[in-house]
Amino acid sequence: MSADEGAPFDIGQLMGQLGRMQQNLAEAQEATAAEIVEGTAGGGAVKVRLTGAFEFQSVTIDPSVVDPGDVDMLQDLVLAALRDGIEKAGALASDALSSAGFGGMPGLGGLPGIGDLGGLLGPG
């Protein structure tokens, strides 16, 4: 018989731990939302800036890649830069959650910013 078997369950202690976890999660989400990441494609010819909360701030396109005869290439570069930015923002969110003590917890893979969100923009 272990020392814990006869001990009563302390709901107050559990609620306190949950409250601290909720506060840590909120702080991690707030810090992540304030961070800016940059996705790039074409060696930096196309850049997108977005927050850790996946709010896009800007798109910059080097004029040298603007060829009216090859719009498809420019569209592909923009899409690749968006995917790169989303991947970086997702990694930022994942790192923030890990540092807040939520790394490896089951069920967090479906939260925005966790896991592979590249699928939001179609197949890579």
Task: Quick: pLDDT tens for 17-44.
Answer: 888 888 888 888 888 888 999 999 999 9
Provide the pLDDT for residue 110: 43
Looking at residue 64, what DSSP letter applies?
A: G
10 vs 7, more confident: 10
Long-range CB contact pairs, 38-41, < 8 A, 24+ = 38/85, 38/88, 39/81, 39/82, 39/83, 39/84, 39/85, 39/86, 39/87, 39/88, 40/81, 40/84, 41/76, 41/77, 41/78, 41/79, 41/80, 41/81, 41/84
Q: How confident is the model at residue 56 (pLDDT cuts 50, 70, 90)?
A: very high
Q: Tell me the whole-structure pTM to 2 decimals.
A: 0.64
Q: Which domains, and CATH codes, for the chain?
A: 11-121 (3.30.1310.10)
Query: In the numeric block, which tokens belong to residue 28?
Result: 């991690």
Model confidence over 84-104: pLDDT tens digits? 999 999 888 888 878 777 765
